[in-house]
A and B are shown apart, each in its own frame.
Chain A
């Protein structure tokens, strides 16, 4: 109900106001030619000035501003690109250096190892030689000792058997006959003791 009254009142007021316009106005002011010439005149002047100032002063400036900015950005990008390339080159160089020094280090290591091995071998050879000499010396001494041993043993055996005989039977026995027996025995037993 309230809504209905509300819209009715809007409609009525619209009608009234339309009537009022119809009574008051003599049509559109736009069609009144009184100030047409004045409007054309001022339009020409203002738009003309606007066009001239914009086209001669302001627009070229904006255009150059935009151009300069674009150039600057392009330049900056180029500079950044150049620096990036430079840094890539630097990295490459650095890696090369690292590679080279690694190789060099390997060579040094190898050389040092070889030298060390050589010196070790030399020392080892010298030591071997010394040892061999010692061994030979010792062997010859042993051989000498071994060669001399049966004689001494025989001698001791002869003396001991002579003493024994003297104490047992109280008779002096000729040394030469005892030594003959000892020699004979020792020759027989030598094979058992020395195995040669």
Chain B
């Protein structure tokens, strides 16, 4: 079992089975890491915002740098109209980032390596953005599917393609994060297994690969959180400032 690289993704119940009617909502290892990530975020940002000194300490600096980082990301991609959604995108970015990063701890569970989690997040974003778009522009939001400057002959085809691409947004958004996390962790597990099976003689090469992969995966963990957040900003930008 230990050599199975997919074993790390298994979800199991922690504590008693909790049932809400017929639905099983037991506390699992996935739930545990969601709670840990959220608590860690809240702890760090609570510490970082507690007192305001002119010269910030390390935690405060971290919190404020994250704040301005996300703030800049949103204003760069979606403009000033996206300000009311700052808190959501900030929470989203931090949640995904912390789940990814906690997954890098050996024997930890990676929440974002589960398609259902990323898909729910992406669907929520998709539905929310669509609702915002229709609220801002009414039926004019449908102009998003009709790019300007396209010959009339091609228009039916383009509109169909645009609609498909719009509808596939939640899928691409969720699968991108999930696949990246799953592939990275599987690869690390496989190389880790090689270290054991090749032993003291040949294990050094996969071990060095493992070390390098760990660095790469930490980069990917950050990058995917960033990509997830910035794509959300781009979708939000489409809904807020109709360009087509």
The answer to whether B67 and A63 have CB atoms under 8 Å apart is yes
**A40 B91 Cβ-Cβ under 8 A:** no
- Residues of B with C-beta under 8 A to A39: 11, 28, 30-31, 114, 116-117, 120
Q: Shortest Cβ distance from B208 into chain A, in angstroms?
A: 13
Query: Is the Cβ of A55 less than 8 Å from the Cβ of B6?
Result: no
Q: Does B223 contact A (CB under 8 A)?
A: no
Give residues of chain A (15-52) contacting chain B, Cβ–Cβ below 8 Å. Answer: 16-17, 20-21, 24-25, 27-32, 34-44, 46-47, 49-51
The reply to whether B87 and A36 form a contact with Cβ atoms under 8 Å apart is no
* A42 to chain B: closest residue by CB: B31
Kindly state the separation between the CA atoms of A50 and B117 in the bound complex, as whole angstroms.
Answer: 16
Chain B: interface residue count, which band? 35 or more
Residues of A within 8 A of B134 (CB): none
Q: How far is B190's CA from A16's CA once the two chains are assembled, in angstroms?
A: 12
- A46 & B35 in contact (Cβ 8 Å cutoff): yes
Bound state CA distance, A51 and B86, in angstroms? 11
Contact call A34/B5, Cβ cutoff below 8 A: no
Residues of B within 8 A of A34 (CB): 11, 24
Interface SS majority for chain A? helix
CA distance A41 to B34 in the complex (A): 11
A72 interface residue, CB < 8 Å from B?
Answer: yes
B52 to A51, Cβ gap below 8 A?
no
Once the chains bind, are B25 and A66 in contact (CB under 8 Å)? Answer: no
Please tell me if the beta carbons of B178 and A10 are within 8 angstroms of each other in the complex.
no
| Nearest 9 CB-CB pairings of A with B | A55-B87, A42-B31, A61-B49, A65-B52, A46-B34, A29-B10, A50-B38, A35-B11, A41-B25
Q: Can you list 20 pairs linking A and B with CB atoms under 8 Å apart? A: A6-B205, A17-B197, A32-B11, A35-B13, A38-B24, A38-B27, A39-B120, A41-B20, A42-B25, A47-B38, A47-B121, A51-B87, A54-B90, A59-B67, A62-B64, A62-B67, A64-B52, A65-B49, A69-B54, A72-B54
Query: Taking beta carbons and an 8 Å cutoff, which residues of A are in contact with B?
Result: 6, 9-10, 13-14, 16-17, 20-21, 24-25, 27-32, 34-44, 46-47, 49-51, 53-55, 57-59, 61-66, 68-69, 72
Q: Which residues on B are within 8 Å of A, measured CB to CB? A: 1, 3-7, 9-11, 13, 20, 23-28, 30-31, 34-35, 37-38, 41-42, 45-46, 48-49, 52, 54, 60, 63-64, 67-68, 86-88, 90-91, 94-95, 111, 113-117, 120-121, 178, 182, 190, 193-194, 197-198, 202, 205-206
